[in-house]
Amino acid sequence: MKAVRPARTPRPAVFAGRVILVMLLIVSGLCRAAETAAELLERADDIKTANNSEFLDLLGQAEAQRDRLSPLQRDQLDYLKGWQLGYSGQYQSAEVALKVVLDRTVDPTLRARARISLLNDQALASHYEEAYANLSELLESLPTISDEKARNFSFGVAALLYNQAGQYDLALKYSDAWLATSDKSAACKAMAQKIETLYKSAKLLTDDPQVDNGLEACKRIGEPVFASAIRTSLASLLIDKGRAAEALQLLKPHDVEVLATHSAVAISLSRSLLARCYFLAGDLGNAREYAQSAIDYGIKQAFSKPVADAYAVLYSAAKQQGDFRDALAFHEKYAEASKAYLTDTTARTLAYQMVNQQVVDKKRQIDALNDRNQVLQLKQEVDAKSAEASRLSILLLIAVLGSIAWWAFRTKRSQLRFQRLARRDSLTGIFNRQHFLDAAGATLQYSAKSAREACMILIDLDNFKSVNDSYGHAAGDLVLRRTVSICETHLRSIDIFGRLGGEEFGILLADCSLDAAELRAEALRTAIEGLCSGEGGIDFPVSASFGVAAASGSKYDLKQLLVDADGALYQAKREGRNRVVVFRVGSADETRGRVEQSRG
């Protein structure tokens, strides 16, 4: 029999070596997982707008391994999730998520990016004072932001917010600042913002080479959301100029591509414009389908302009088809959305002005406090010196008091300036006569220098005295307010609208041909005539007469332009009211109208 050997006990050194090997394998695996997570988050961040579907898949993969992520990686994941909420139109939820990231993370670059996304969502959620206050802090911190991507995003959100506040020069400044960087995506993303600003400020041309350059840049990097933004700006301009067929050819081939972006803003705007194109082309079926789609995809806010425009298309289409019940329902929703949008636009502008004034005042207060502290310090030193130093102290005190008085004077002057700007008609809320004339005169001077056409529309409600006599002044006031509300829905941001007195109104259309002005006047006449529907307490007929004249015919002289438009308005009254008459240079009506004015 062989002797049985006892089991060999592992040597301590060998055992320790095996333990170390196992630990190294575990650590190596964890490191590979961490590296995989970092690469996954970076790739998700790079494609979040270019391929939103894949971005969502990557977020799901990252969330599945959340327990293995580092604290910074978890913050990055939560930031991307908050960004997606805002991208899909859930702004309230996005604000909450991004504020959590800001409160928790200590990484300066991530804090800057979270703040930028928060600014954008706050503006879209109508929290304008917070948005512009945060924007001021962000721009002040720009010198401390070393991450190039975060700096570029700062330029982008600044351009966006200033564009929304109507501060187009500032918006163009930050768009150009972004374009001047080495960011390869700037030629697409920054150009999309710049083209939108050029359109809103009436500086975009239909053949602007920047449009094609921007679209080509977006195609190179695969950014359909920003490409759609460029196309919708150009399509809006084409529709404004009566070239809806070209706008349809521009937008329709990319409809499926836009749907795939999952962007509430991009889809709603594109489909709203398509609905308007189909309506203008007489295709009411497609017009209603795309308008309803724009509403369904739209951000869930009453003040979305694409949604308001979509309701306007549904109302007009239903009215043409004789479906008056649906037309009335759509008109109510359109009026509600349009009024809310105009109110929101005003709120944006006022919020910017308030925050801007607060920043200026705060800086002045800090400067004044610094001056005061310096003076107190000097006074303590002066008190220990000779009489000559005492006299110096008095002089310094006088200088401080003078600076405080100067600061108070400038603050008061700023307040008075804002009061002068608030020259509004108390009943309708639009410009009063003097403010209208001042603004119209300035616009005519600019149009003359830039060789751009401008047109004046004078509106006078027909038989308005009989409304007051028969139904009372309250009914007359209601007609005036409703007329103004209808007119405002047909105006551009660059148009000047004012009440000239009683039932007479004036509209100066900048950068607008006489034929286009006639079409817009006819649209206003039709809309005002539609007031007699019994809606809102108006159950009696309402109509208006219109006089239209071009500034080139009056050599851009405001007084003569008003005379020409008034002559056309007078002719509209003579010919039976409820009509549009255009003053055309060289016609018999021109000679007769100007002779009558000279005799008067």
Q: What is the pLDDT of residue 2?
A: 41
Residue 591 and residue 509 share a domain: yes
Residue 379 and residue 470 share a domain: no
The mean per-residue pLDDT over the stretch 227-235 comes to 95
Indicate the Cα dihedral angle 425, 429, 434, 439, nearest 10°: 180
Indicate the range of 75-89, 227-241, 244-258, 449-463 predicted with least confidence.
75-89
Asked whether residue 49 is domain-assigned, the answer is no
> Which one is predicted more confidently, 412 or 196?
196
Comparing CA positions, the residue from 36, 85, 35 lying closest to residue 56 is: 85
Asked whether residue 556 is domain-assigned, the answer is yes
> Which one is predicted more confidently, 320 or 140?
320
Q: Where a domain ends, among 421, 453, 484?
A: 421
Cα–Cα distance for residue pair 330/312, rounded to 1 Å: 7
Residue tagged 């309708």 (tokens): 428
Asked whether residue 400 is domain-assigned, the answer is yes
Comparing CA positions, the residue from 235, 111, 230, 128 lying closest to residue 175 is: 230
Q: Return the sign of the alpha-carbon dihedral for residues 514, 519, 520, 521.
A: positive
Asked whether residue 7 is domain-assigned, the answer is no
Q: What is the pLDDT of residue 18?
A: 53
Whether the per-residue pLDDT at 300 is higher than 60: the answer is no
Q: Where a domain ends, among 390, 421, 452?
A: 421
Residue 501 and residue 415 share a domain: no
Residue 584 and residue 532 share a domain: yes
Q: What is the pLDDT of residue 394?
A: 77
Residue 482 and residue 548 share a domain: yes
**SS3 of 501-567:** ECCEEEEEEECCCHHHHHHHHHHHHHHHHCCCCCHHHCCCCCCEEEEEEEHHHHCCCHHHHHHHHHH
Residue 39 burial (CB count, 10 A): 10
Q: Give, in degrees to the nearest 5, the angle at Cα 22 between 19 and 23.
A: 85
> Which one is predicted more confidently, 581 or 354?
581
Q: What is the pLDDT of residue 24?
A: 46
Q: pLDDT digits over 552-590, tens only?
A: 999 999 999 999 999 999 999 999 999 999 999 876 455
Q: pLDDT digits over 119-142, tens only?
A: 777 777 777 778 888 787 778 877
Q: Which structural domain, as residue segments, surrounds residue 393?
A: 346-421
Q: pLDDT digits over 368-390, tens only?
A: 777 777 877 777 776 777 777 67
Residue 576 and residue 443 share a domain: yes
DSSP class per residue in 262-307: --HHHHHHHHHHHHHHHHHTT-HHHHHHHHHHHHHHS-S-TT-HHH
Cα–Cα distance for residue pair 187/94, rounded to 1 Å: 28
Asked whether residue 406 is domain-assigned, the answer is yes
Asked whether residue 520 is domain-assigned, the answer is yes
Whether the per-residue pLDDT at 540 is higher than 60: the answer is yes
Cα–Cα distance for residue pair 387/397, rounded to 1 Å: 15
Comparing CA positions, the residue from 457, 458, 442, 455 lying closest to residue 551 is: 455
Please, what is the average pLDDT of the chain?
84
Whether the per-residue pLDDT at 361 is higher than 80: the answer is no
> Which one is predicted more confidently, 156 or 456?
456
Comparing CA positions, the residue from 266, 313, 306, 265 lying closest to residue 289 is: 313
Q: What is the pLDDT of residue 246?
A: 93
Side chain identity at residue 544, one-letter code:
A
Asked whether residue 581 is domain-assigned, the answer is yes
Residue 478 and residue 386 share a domain: no
Whether the per-residue pLDDT at 22 is higher than 80: the answer is no
The mean per-residue pLDDT over the stretch 536-548 comes to 86
Asked whether residue 46 is domain-assigned, the answer is no
The mean per-residue pLDDT over the stretch 210-232 comes to 93
Q: Where a domain ends, among 400, 421, 442?
A: 421
Indicate the range of 52-56, 481-485, 507-511, 514-518 predicted with least confidence.
52-56
Q: What is the pLDDT of residue 534?
A: 54
Residue 580 and residue 438 share a domain: yes
Cα–Cα distance for residue pair 52/135, rounded to 1 Å: 27
Residues 489, 547 contacting (CB under 8 angstroms): no
Q: 225: Cβ–Cβ under 8 A, 6 or more apart, which residues? A: 49, 261, 263, 266
Q: What is the pLDDT of residue 217?
A: 92
pTM comes to: 0.50
Residues 544, 460 contacting (CB under 8 angstroms): yes
Confidence of residue 595 (pLDDT cuts 50, 70, 90): very low
Q: What is the pLDDT of residue 283?
A: 93
The mean per-residue pLDDT over the stretch 425-431 comes to 94
Residue 449 and residue 554 share a domain: yes
The mean per-residue pLDDT over the stretch 515-523 comes to 96
Residue 486 and residue 367 share a domain: no
In the chain, DSSP finds a helix count (H) and a strand count (E) of 24, 5
Q: What is the pLDDT of residue 10?
A: 47
Whether the per-residue pLDDT at 232 is higher than 90: the answer is yes
Cα–Cα distance for residue pair 294/291, rounded to 1 Å: 5
Q: What is the pLDDT of residue 573?
A: 96
Residue tagged 């959305």 (tokens): 337
**What percentage of the chain has pLDDT greater than the value 90?**
44
Beta-carbon-side half-sphere exposure of residue 293 (alpha carbons within 13 Å): 20
Residue 534 and residue 463 share a domain: yes
Residue 535 and residue 445 share a domain: yes
Indicate the range of 25-39, 69-83, 393-407, 537-551 predicted with least confidence.
25-39
Most confident of 296-300, 494-498, 583-587: 494-498
Side chain identity at residue 481, one-letter code:
R
The CATH number of whichever domain residue 575 belongs to comes to 3.30.70.270
Whether the per-residue pLDDT at 271 is higher than 90: the answer is yes
Q: 373: Cβ–Cβ under 8 A, 6 or more apart, which residues? A: none
The tally of domains found in the chain comes to: 2
